[in-house]
Amino acid sequence: MKYAFSTLGLPGAPLDRVAALAATHGFDGLELRAHPEEPLHTAGAAADRAAALRTLAASGVAVLAVAGYARVAAPGPDEPVLAELRALVRLAADLEAPYVRVFPGGDDPPGQGDDARAVRRLLAAAPFAERHGVRILLETHDSHRTGAAVARVLGGVAHPGAGALWDVLHTWLGGEPPAASIRSLAAHLGYVQVKDVRSARDLTPVLLGAGVLPLAEVVAAVPRDGWLCWEYEKRWHPTAADLPGLLARGRAYLHGLVADRPRSTRGGRGG
- Spell out a b/e string for 6-25, using b for 16 or more CB atoms within 10 Å of the CB, else e: bbbbbbebebeebbebbeeb
When the candidates are 3.40.50.261, 3.40.50.11540, 3.10.129.10, 3.20.20.150, the CATH number that belongs to 2-265 is: 3.20.20.150
Burial of 128 (0-12, 13-18, 19+ CB in 10 A): middle
**In 10 A of CB 258, how many CB atoms?**
16
DSSP 35: S
> 121-139 pLDDT, tens per residue?
999 999 999 999 999 999 9
- Could you give the CA distance from residue 44 to residue 112 in angstroms, rounded to a whole number? 36
Residue 262 confidence (pLDDT) above 80: no
Helix (H) or strand (E) holding 264: none
Residue 237 confidence (pLDDT) above 90: yes
Cα torsion through 74, 137, 56, 229, rounded to 10: 100
Name the residue ranges covered by the structural domains of the chain: 2-265
* Band of pLDDT at residue 110, cut at 50, 70 and 90: confident
* Band of pLDDT at residue 12, cut at 50, 70 and 90: very high
Give the pLDDT mean for 20-24.
98
**Which of 20-24, 180-184, 220-224 has the lowest average pLDDT?**
220-224
> 174-221 pLDDT, tens per residue?
999 999 999 999 999 999 999 999 999 999 999 999 999 999 999 999
The confidence score (pLDDT) of residue 28 equals: 98
- 136: β partners: 100, 162
- The pTM of this model reads 0.95
The confidence score (pLDDT) of residue 22 equals: 98
